[in-house]
Amino acid sequence: MKRLTLVLMLSLVFCASAWAGTTTYAGNSYWPAGNAASTSFGPGWYRNTFYKTASFDTTLTFIDNVSYSWHSTVRSWATFVETHWLSSAVKKAYCRANTTGPSWASCTANN
């Protein structure tokens, strides 16, 4: 019983740090210029973010699976970049380094 309680408590600690509906689809300590990543295609993605520990030039967008057109694209040197596409279309979230990123940065999408 004590073991079961301990396992449950540990599970709660780990679950508490989880972020429901958030997927980190890229995380690297070095981003060569041109390096890109994306999620799988799905209808639920609506928010796309790029977090950097140092400033470099990046692009964030959504790409639909019919015309492969870009939607709600944002390009910026800011250390935190965010965009939203509030559409039920099937799409993927996409991020790209336009210049070399010298330190940790990650791309995350919400659905």
Partner 1 sequence: MLRMKRKRNWIAVVGAVVAGGVFAGAVIAAQLDERGIPQDLEASLRSDPLVQVADIPADGGLGRRGVFVQQTSAGFLCLWDAPNASSRARQGGCNDTDDPFGGRELFLSLAYDGGPAVADVRDARLIGLASTEVPEVAVLMSDGSRRKVNLRKASIGDDSYQAFGYRFKSSDLRRGIAPTAVLALNDAGEEVDRQPTGFAG
Which residues of this chain interact with partner 1, rule CB under 8 A? 10, 13, 16-19, 22, 24, 27, 51, 53, 55, 57, 59, 69-84, 86, 98, 104, 106, 108
CB of 42 to partner 1, least distance (A): 19
* Number of Cβ atoms within 10 Å of the Cβ of 15: 9
CB of 1 to partner 1, least distance (A): 17
Residue with tokens 């790029």: 50
Per DSSP bridges, beta strands 47-52 and 105-110 are: antiparallel
Angstrom CA distances, 100 to 24, 30, 84, 104, stand at 20, 8, 25, 11
CB of 29 to partner 1, least distance (A): 10
Task: Give the nearer residue to partner 1 in terms of CB position, either 35 or 71.
Answer: 71
